[in-house]
């Protein structure tokens, strides 16, 4: 018979501490596997993230973890107590013997758990010691009540879900998160204000689709290039927040708030929505992070001195999945996986070519951006760019 540990919890969100504890139990507890059991309705605290989101994050977190399993037994409506999970667990794992993982702080209350007697006849327990918790007396009592229980040494982790939630609320990438979980959190704005309903009223459905595409691509690129994921997601989400405004309103706002002195920007909606967007992001959405605001402000013509995050959003805007194919798109996507400065540079070259063909002027501030990003490129990146230039817009 398979002996499986069961780690119930809120997993709001799942982090490296949970995974390490499960592995520790696996190693020391003579188990064949450990099942993560996220509870839809945690007993002691309302969860911040929805049950489906917490389940999805658990699934991502164990994808590459040998011996870790996931159960939906805690997700069914009406499931509240550990006892409620036994029957669904049995259905999911018919051949298993279950050993619930608990901390020593739970020992005192264990004999009073819902349906304790039946529960003790159906499963065992593995209990992690906890410093400051004298376990002997409680352990005696639990065993007298009929529980099969083994003790394990204390397990410590530097990570905490509440700390992660706090950091995420400030758009910081908290340590101790699986990269896939972090990306999921960023793409779903977990533990952050939900800007989606408001954004939807500010733009048409087509623009909104594009916005989600930019967020997704910005998160992907940030992951590849080691940039802050949460900030990339936020800037991607808000980059076009002013795009739905009329030219008249944008120009008025820009003049009133002194958003730009540049006459060619003040008369072009294609350019003006960037500085106005940065203004709205601050004013309407309460964003204070300068890097994020700059990424919104510079997403059309860039900026000499632009950061990697700005480049990431700039490129994602041009290459997101909903973009209709244009000359050089495939090439730009290829470049962006390897070098952000080269991709930004190439993107301007393509715009330049396009404007030349249609007899229109190239914005002079773009030239400054081009010179700036070229200066950042390593010899290797320059070689790569030259290769792509030779290829033309393929």
Query: Nearer to Fe ion by C-beta: 240 or 388?
Result: 240
Q: Which is nearer to Fe ion, 217 or 317 (CB)?
A: 317
User: Residue 369 Cβ, how far from Fe ion at the closest point, in Å?
Assistant: 15
Q: Between 24 and 317, name the residue whose CB sits nearer to Fe ion.
A: 317
Residues 88-127 that bind Fe ion (CB under 5 A): none
Q: For residue 15, give the 3-state DSSP assignment.
A: coil
Binds Fe ion (CB under 5 A): choice among 53, 173, 217, 317: 317
When the beta carbons of 85 and 319 are compared against Fe ion, the nearer one is 319
Nearest Cα to Cα of residue 101 among 4, 2, 5: 5
Q: Which stretch binds Fe ion (CB under 5 A): 45-53, 94-102, 165-173, 316-324?
A: 316-324
CB of 206 vs Fe ion, minimal distance in Å: 11
Specify the residue, 40 or 241, whose C-beta has the smaller distance to Fe ion. Answer: 241
Please report how the helices 269-283 and 247-256 are oriented relative to each other, as an axis angle in degrees rounded to 10: 60
Q: How many residues bind Fe ion (CB under 5 A)?
A: 2
Cβ neighbours around 205 below 10 Å, total: 8
What is the sign, positive or negative, of the torsion defined by CA atoms of 43, 46, 52, 54? negative
- Side by side, the strands of the sheet bearing 2-9 are 68-70, 33-38, 2-9, 96-103, 123-128, 149-152
- Answer yes or no: are the C-beta atoms of 18 and 47 closer than 8 Å: no
- Min dist CB 242 to Fe ion, Å, is 8
Which residue, 56, 60, 73, is CA-closest to 6? 73
Q: According to the binding rule CB under 5 A, does residue 24 interact with Fe ion?
A: no
Q: Do 42 and 22 contact (CB within 8 A), yes or no?
A: no
Q: Which of 240, 291, 310, 381 binds Fe ion (CB under 5 A)?
A: 240
Q: Alpha-carbon distance 102 to 150, whole Å?
A: 10
Shortest spacing between CB 392 and Fe ion, in angstroms: 25
With binding defined as CB under 5 A, does residue 84 bind Fe ion? no
Shortest CB 285 distance to Fe ion, Å: 16
Q: Which is nearer to Fe ion, 89 or 313 (CB)?
A: 313
Q: Footprint of Fe ion on this chain (CB under 5 A)?
A: 240, 317
């Amino acid at each position: 018979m398979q002996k499986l540990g069961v780690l119930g919890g809120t997993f709001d969100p799942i982090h490296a501490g949970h995974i390490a504890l499960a592995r520790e139990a696996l190693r020391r507890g003579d188990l064949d596997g450990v099942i993560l059991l996220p509870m839809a309705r945690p007993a002691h605290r309302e969860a911040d993230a929805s049950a489906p989101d917490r389940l999805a994050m658990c699934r991502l977190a164990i994808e590459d973890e040998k011996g870790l399993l996931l159960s939906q037994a805690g997700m069914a409506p009406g499931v509240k107590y550990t006892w409620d999970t036994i029957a669904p667990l049995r259905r999911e794992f018919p051949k298993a013997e279950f050993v619930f993982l608990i901390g020593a702080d739970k020992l005192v209350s264990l004999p009073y758990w819902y349906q304790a007697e039946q529960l003790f006849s159906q499963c065992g327990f593995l209990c992690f010691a906890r410093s400051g918790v004298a376990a002997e007396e409680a352990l005696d009592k639990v065993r007298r009540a009929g529980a099969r229980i083994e003790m394990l040494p204390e397990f410590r982790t530097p990570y905490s879900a509440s700390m992660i939630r706090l950091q995420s609320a400030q758009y910081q990438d908290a340590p101790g998160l699986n990269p896939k979980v972090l990306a999921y959190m960023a793409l779903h704005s977990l533990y952050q204000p939900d800007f989606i309903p408001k954004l939807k009223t500010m733009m048409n459905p087509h623009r909104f689709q594009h916005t989600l595409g930019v967020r997704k691509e910005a998160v992907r690129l940030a992951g590849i290039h080691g940039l802050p994921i949460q900030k990339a997601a936020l800037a991607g989400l808000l980059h076009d927040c002013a795009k739905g405004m009329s030219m008249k309103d944008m120009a008025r706002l820009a003049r009133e708030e002194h958003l730009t002195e540049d006459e060619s920007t003040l008369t072009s909606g294609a350019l003006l929505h960037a500085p106005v967007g940065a203004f709205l992001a601050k004013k309407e959405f309460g964003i204070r992070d300068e890097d994020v605001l700059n990424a919104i402000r510079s997403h059309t013509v860039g900026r000499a001195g632009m950061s990697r995050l700005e480049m990431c959003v700039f490129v994602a805007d041009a290459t997101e999945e909903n973009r209709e194919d244009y000359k050089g798109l495939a090439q730009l996507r290829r470049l962006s996986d390897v070098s952000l400065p080269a991709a930004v540079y190439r993107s301007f070259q393509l715009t330049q070519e396009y404007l030349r063909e249609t007899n229109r002027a190239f914005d002079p501030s773009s030239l400054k951006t081009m010179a700036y990003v070229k200066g950042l490129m390593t010899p290797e990146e320059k070689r790569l760019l030259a290769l792509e230039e030779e290829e033309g817009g393929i």
